[in-house]
Amino acid sequence: MGIAGRVRAYVGLGANLGDAADTLAAAVHAVGALPGIRLRGVSRLYATTPVGVLDQPDFRNAVVALDVPAGPDPATGATDLLVALKELERAFGRQARQRWGPREVDLDILVFGRNAIATSRPPQGQSSDPAKASLPLVVPHRDARHRLFVLAPLSDLAPRLVPPFWGETVAAAADRQRGIEGVDAVRPIAVWDGEGWLPLS
């Protein structure tokens, strides 16, 4: 638990419809403006090759570090954050589509302090992905350790972090996954300058 009942959480952002970079910039600002939440860091912006469903545009992905209210217990704190993120997804026009398909915006809790959480989702916190709508909220995110589009931006912010059950740092997991997916699967294209994305030369 953080100071004064706060927790460091990491949230993954992804989009590949419309101007995805602009969408993620707006999403960073929207997440940072949520009540009680403080934005503590923003990764580089990455262009990433789709996973699962390949016939779609490349994604744009990033990760933000947040200080969030811990809640009376980790499951409640994480669920409260989940509900706020899902409300933002809907505000950004997120539509129900196939798993791994195109996304207006995707906001996922990757890590919530040092806590391992598995809890049911309230109705307002359910995923718009029909394949995942009834699944519990699991933190650390169940797929994060094996997804370079998560590991690369997360490593920008917390390379030495060892999430529960991983047994390795985020940086080590990212290096391992680059060996599997290839270095071109995830490419840094911009940095956050406090207001928006500044393209890398």
Question: Which pLDDT score is estimated for 55?
Answer: 61
Q: In percent, how much of the chain has pLDDT > 70?
A: 85
Question: Which pLDDT score is estimated for 101?
Answer: 45
Domain residue extents for the chain: 6-195
The architecture in CATH of the region 6-195 reads: 2-Layer Sandwich (3.30)
Question: Which pLDDT score is estimated for 98?
Answer: 45
State the SS3 of the chain.
CECCCEEEEEEEEEECCCCHHHHHHHHHHHHHCCCCCEEEEECCEEEECCCCCCCCCCEEEEEEEEEEECCCCHHHHHHHHHHHHHHHHHHCCCCCCCCCCCCCCEEEEEEECCCCEEECCCHHHCCCCCCCCCCCEEECCCCHHHCHHHHHHHHHHCCCCCCCCCCCCHHHHHHHHHHHHCHHHEEEEEEECCCCEEECC
| Model pLDDT for residues 34-78, shown as the tens digit of each residue | 999 999 999 999 999 877 655 678 899 999 999 999 999 999 999
pLDDT band at residue 164 using 50, 70 and 90 as cut-offs: very high
Q: Which residue has the higher pLDDT, 163 or 1?
A: 163
The average pLDDT across 128-157 equals 86
* The pLDDT of residue 1 is above 90: no
Question: Which pLDDT score is estimated for 4?
Answer: 54
Question: Which pLDDT score is estimated for 103?
Answer: 56
* The pLDDT of residue 131 is above 80: no
Out of 38-42, 101-105, 122-126, the most confident range is 38-42
* The pLDDT of residue 100 is above 50: no
